[in-house]
């Protein structure tokens, strides 16, 4: 899934009102946290490592 800013959702759905309605439903009663810095999932993907491959089972 791509990480697209909420302001660009109108371009994706070709309808600003529909995008605003969907965003309102998704974020109602939620807390939005924004993180800056490198994405470890992306870095591991580029390096060819799977996040699940590092999990060990008893």
Q: What is the pLDDT of residues 19-40, one digit of tens each?
A: 999 999 988 888 878 778 877 7
Query: Taking the model in full, what pTM does it have?
Result: 0.49
How far is 22 from 7, CA to CA, in rounded Å? 12
The whole-number pLDDT of residue 1 equals 47
Mean pLDDT, residues 48-58 taken together? 61
Comparing C-alpha atoms, which of 41, 11, 36, 9 is closest to residue 24? 9
Please state, as a whole number, how many other Cβ atoms lie within 10 Å of the Cβ of residue 15. 13
Asked if 19 contacts 12 with a C-beta cutoff of 8 angstroms, the reply is yes
Structure tokens at 28: 């109602």
Break the chain into its structural domains and give their ranges: 6-54
Residue 4 has pLDDT above 90, yes or no: no
Asked if 5 contacts 14 with a C-beta cutoff of 8 angstroms, the reply is no
């Amino acid at each position: 899934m791509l990480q697209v800013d909420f302001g660009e959702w109108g371009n994706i759905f070709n309808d600003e009102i529909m995008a605003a309605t969907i965003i309102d439903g998704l974020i109602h009663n939620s807390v939005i946290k924004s993180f800056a810095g490198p994405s470890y999932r992306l870095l591991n993907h580029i390096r060819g490592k799977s996040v699940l491959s590092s999990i060990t089972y008893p």
